[in-house]
Amino acid sequence: MDSLAYRCEDGAVRVRRCDGEAEFKVHEGNLISYRLVSGDDPFGWNGHVPAEALLGQPMSGRQWLAATSETEYPDLPQQITTLFESHRLGDLVLFAADGYDFRDNNVAAHGGPRAVDMQVPFIIAGPGVPRGRMSNVRSVDLTPTLLQLLGEPVPPDLDGQPIDFTKVRPQ
Residue 19: C-alpha distances to residues 4, 36, 42, 75, 142 (Å): 12, 11, 6, 19, 35
Q: Tell me which of 116, 142, 159 is where a domain ends.
A: 116
Judgement on whether residues 85 and 30 belong to the same structural domain of the protein = yes
Q: Provide the 8-state DSSP code for 37.
A: E
Q: How many domains does the chain contain in total?
A: 2
Range in 11-20, 70-79, 106-115, 146-155 the model is least confident about: 106-115
Question: Which domain range does residue 14 map to?
Answer: 3-116
Helix (H, G, I), strand (E, B) or coil at 118: helix
pLDDT digits (tens, 9 = 90+) for 103-135: 766 555 567 888 877 777 888 888 888 888 887
Judgement on whether residues 125 and 112 belong to the same structural domain of the protein = no
pLDDT digits (tens, 9 = 90+) for 8-48: 999 999 999 999 999 999 999 999 999 999 999 999 999 99
Is the pLDDT confidence value at 101 over 90? Answer: no
Residue 64 has what pLDDT?
96
In sequence order, what DSSP letters do the residues of 73-98 get, joined into one string?
STTHHHHHHHHTT-TT--SEEEEPPT
Q: Are 26 and 118 in contact (CB under 8 A)?
A: no
Does the pTM exceed 0.85? Answer: no
Q: Name, in order, each residue with C-beta under 8 angstroms of 99's C-beta and a sequence gap of 6 or more.
A: 106
Judgement on whether residues 14 and 84 belong to the same structural domain of the protein = yes
Percent of the chain predicted with pLDDT > 70: 95
